[in-house]
Structure 1
Amino acid sequence: MNPVTARYLSDPALVDAVGEAEVPPAYRRYRQGNLLSRPLFVPEDDLLSCARDTIAVLDLLASLPSRVFDGDVTRYCSALGIDPVTSGLLASYHDGPPVQYGRADFYRNGSSFTMLEFNVASDLGGLDNASLHQALLGVPAFASFAAEHRLGYVDTAAAVVRSLRVASGAPDPVVALVCADVDLPAYRDLLGSVLEALSRLGLDVVLAGLGEVRTRSGRLFVGRGRVDVVLRYFTVDHVPANAPAVARILRAHTDGTCVLFTPMNSSLYSNKGALALLSDARWTSAEERALVDRVLPWTRRITPDLVDQCFQEREQLILKPARDFGGRGVVAGWETPEEAWKALLDEAVRRSHVVQRRVVPEPEPVVDVTTGEVGGWTPAWGLFVTPEGFAGTMIRAVPRGGGAVVNLGANSRARATAAFTYRE
């Protein structure tokens, strides 16, 4: 336990600071009580070091098609287990490296962070997390505590707003958060909280389904309003069912009348099979290898020759779909009986899955505000990057023994919170 955490836990005035914090209405509606009872605290140098590694890993991921497959995106997609239809779309969209925008998720032990996955995409949750930072600073006891320890944080929404303004080339662009119509009901609260966070910074933002996007005189419109930037909350998987709408957006982007942030090729790098390639020592230099070994656990795409090894090492492995997200389909070997694990491995060979070495994080002590008891919680640290660099954090946590999947959508025991930095 670091000294700031110890000091926080020892002060009765701070025990229910999160409960006292007045968060904005859309953020409150989205979280619906799923907040951890306290924020986390981390040395600033540790977090910035992890952010530098995160950006370096993204650069490596972006280089994989050229360094491993001579720029042949179709061969690269095949190695990742991407189906031919999606592969063809991605090959047609591949026009250079991805925009430096995404969120990498980590476990932390001591001063070291270990990467679990990298969401290289624009359809990210957590852009609204500074809503909690700011609300906590509105609680007098916490504000005094923050001043005493010189706590800091990076406002992710502010970093995103700056990036959207730079991408548009205009000081006051109109930005559309565009989601696939089929997903809009499930993600409306998340997107509403994101819209709230971006709007409070003076950005003109609208929320729309793909089916609401129209073209007039070569410009994109949502309803009666013109759009300068599309912040994409749809993926390549939505293209076949929404081809005309996606084509309108891509045409406007190509013609320079609207900016798509980010381009469609991000699926080439958010696929967990890309981390499996990166984990293979054949594709990196000695210096790069040192980075990968420091940041990434052993990760491989499941193939027939790995099944026996993965069966024998069940207690130390976790199985993940290569293209899914939100914790869906993730299975921990140490939580799975042998017979079921063997069946899962056999099925994974026929589909696109990766297996990853188990990472054991350091738990964080958390007070139950009802009972006063202190229990250990396992946090997953999400680190955002934008074109300007490190762009803040998003934290999710589960109680110790609460399951291997630390995700609000996939684990009912998961909670969200904020992280503040301090200087040692």
Structure 2
Amino acid sequence: MDSSVTSRYLAASAAPDSDLRNPTAHAELPAVFGKSYGHVLLPRPLFVSEPEIGAFADDLAAIFRVLVSLPDRCFGGDVYRYGAAIGLPDELIEVMAEGATGDPVLYARADAFHDGTRFRLLELNIGSELGGVDTAQLNRALLGVPAFRAFAEANGLGHTDTMVHLVAALRGAAGGVPDADPVHPVVALIEGPGALGEHDGVFLSIQEDMRNHGIELLLGEIQELTEGADGKLALHDRPVDVVLRYFAAGQIAGDPVARAALTRLNRAHAAGRTALFSPLEGALFTSKAALGLLHRPEVRAALTATEQELVDRILPRTWVLSGESTEGTESYRQALAHARAHRTSLVLKPGIGYSADGVVIGRDVTEEQWQEALERAAVRDYVAQELVTPALEPVVDPAGGRTDGWVANWGIFVTPQGFGGAFCRALRPEDGAVITYANPGTRGTCVFTHPATVSEESRI
């Protein structure tokens, strides 16, 4: 996506001695953020029109509303029937549905490609266990680099701080807890059993950024939460006003200790003693297979014309490949037949998965490997999704001055207030097709927005 702002930035980066070639190298990063991410940063930030990304966030909110309406609209209000249709096992549905209200919190992050014309939604991660919420620390650090600050001022650049949205949500949750300080509640980020250390750099950076926003953030695991006589939960003997959930349903199901801890947490939340942000209810709709339902004829028939247009505009065609589905068996057979016949235009993805684990890109494997992958997909919650060809983001190599094209995966947040900030992970095509930090070629960066039209006379 080569906007006029990007073109100007590339022109300003052309001189070998320009600080705009690699402003991240000159930025004074916060200590923990720098330690966690400093070695995987793209040389420059990415730019996008504020109206465009704001409109996409509005579309995401609309897709969210459609998704959460599906159990009632298409499955008689039965979340188990709905869950079966997207390949969720009963034990996961039971965990996700405990304490469900039918009105999950709108707090989500899309993973999206931009095809040069518009954003296309690859997946919608619904719930509080989201990475990238602390990325605005990089925005602020870049604005401390004089050359970049001058460019930002000349081109009307701005940014949305996701942490501001998250802190507002946490303070709002604390507002329902009688003994909580509404401005400085005690918040505990809670992971699943044994998982806190796996991503300690991520959590410590979130803790660092949240402290700058006036919130003390404790770190712990769900089994460490204890319940007082008054029903309030505590972590390491500290009473907790709000739990910021970073555990997933898969970490709880099948673990009796964690399951009992979740019940205590849901009980404290219902009683208003310790608020939970956000309940696992949203996980019912975060599966990529939930998006796939929107293309099934029997589900599509329940959508309004406006909703159908929305789905067609932002969501690549997605087929549910769940052989265990009790709904739409004819749709399943048709989906599998299409996937078998169209390898090069499809990607296989687990419905619920992280860090691109289990992803198979059809054009990168042989026909035999593709058919084997489809056989494996038939016994769990997989989808086949139409491949989106993203526009490349040009980035000047700081050392040699060569301009390379990078594929950018846009992480775009949406909250009840609308657009909630964005960040990007990027990869050069020659370094692979799956953008994840498990791939050593992946780099991350922040996003700056600009007005719809930036004056051609703007200069640094």
- TM-score bin (small chain): over 0.9
CA offsets 1:47-94 (integer angstroms, 9 cap, x no match): 111111111111111111111101111100110111122223334343
Q: Measured at CA, do residues 77 and 332 of structure 1 come closer, stay the same or move farther in structure 2, by a change above 3 Å? A: same
The residue that corresponds to 1:149 in the other structure is 155
* Alpha-carbon shift at residue 105 of structure 1 (Å): 1.0
Residue equivalent to 1:293: 312
SS of equivalent to 1:380: strand
2:227 paired with 1:198:
no
Do the aligned residues in 2 keep the contact of 1:279 with 1:296 (CA within 8 Å)? no
Tell me, yes or no, if structure 1 residue 354 matches structure 2 residue 355: no
In 2, the alpha carbon distance for the partners of 1:282 and 1:92 equals 30
Return the match for 2:250 from 226, 237, 244: 237
What's 2:85 paired with?
79
- 1:307·1:346 contact (CA, 8 Å) conserved in 2? no
Measured in 1, the distance between the counterparts of 2:95 and 2:446 equals: 37
Secondary structure of the corresponding residue to residue 48 of structure 2: strand
Within 5 Å, give how 1:146-225 maps onto structure 2.
Answer: 146-169=152-175, 170-217=182-229, 218-225=231-238
Q: Which residue of 2 aligns with 1:331?
A: 360
8 Å CA contact 2:193, 2:251 repeated in 1: no
Runs (4+) of structure 1 exceeding 4 A deviation are none
1:250 and 2:259 are equivalent in the alignment? no
Maintained 8 Å contact 2:97/2:280: no
2:288 maps to 1:272: yes
The Cα offsets for residues 134-160 of structure 1, whole Å up to 9 and x where unpaired, read as 000000100111111110110001111
Q: Shift of the alpha carbon at 1:387?
A: 2.8
- Counterpart residue number, 1:418: 446
For 1:279, what is the secondary structure of its paired residue? coil
Q: Is the 8 A contact 1:272 1:322 kept in 2?
A: yes
Distance 1:249 1:188 in 2: 23
Unmatched 5+ residue regions in structure 1?
Answer: none
Specify the SS of the correspondent of 2:164: helix
Q: Is the 8 A contact 2:107 2:414 kept in 1?
A: yes
Unaligned runs of 5+ in 2: 13-17, 176-181, 322-331, 454-460
Match of 1:50 in 2: 56
| 1:173-220 superposed Cα distances (whole Å, 9 cap, x missing partner) | 111000113211111111111111111111121111223211222211
- Is 2:35 the partner of 1:29? yes
Instruction: Report the identity percentage.
Output: 39
Q: Which residue identity does 1:9 align to in structure 2?
A: L
Q: CA deviation at 1:111?
A: 4.0
The 2-side partners of 1:36 and 1:58 are apart by 31
8 A Cα contact 1:163 1:387, kept in partner: no
Partner Cα separation in structure 2 for residue 358 and residue 403 of structure 1: 15
- Alignment equivalent of 1:345, drawn from 370, 374, 380: 374
Residue 8 of structure 2 corresponds to 7
TM-score (norm 2): 0.89
Asked if 1:122 is matched to 2:151, the reply is no
Question: Following the alignment from structure 2 to structure 1, what is the Cα–Cα distance between the partners of residues 342 and 308?
Answer: 24
| 3-state secondary structure, aligned to 2:427 | strand
Asked if 2 retains the 8 angstrom alpha-carbon contact of 1:382 and 1:393, the reply is yes
Quick check: 88-97 or 201-210, which moved more?
88-97
What's the TM-score once normalised by structure 1's chain length?
A: 0.97
Query: What RMSD over aligned residues (CA atoms) do the two structures have, in Å?
Result: 1.3
Q: CA deviation at 1:398?
A: 0.6
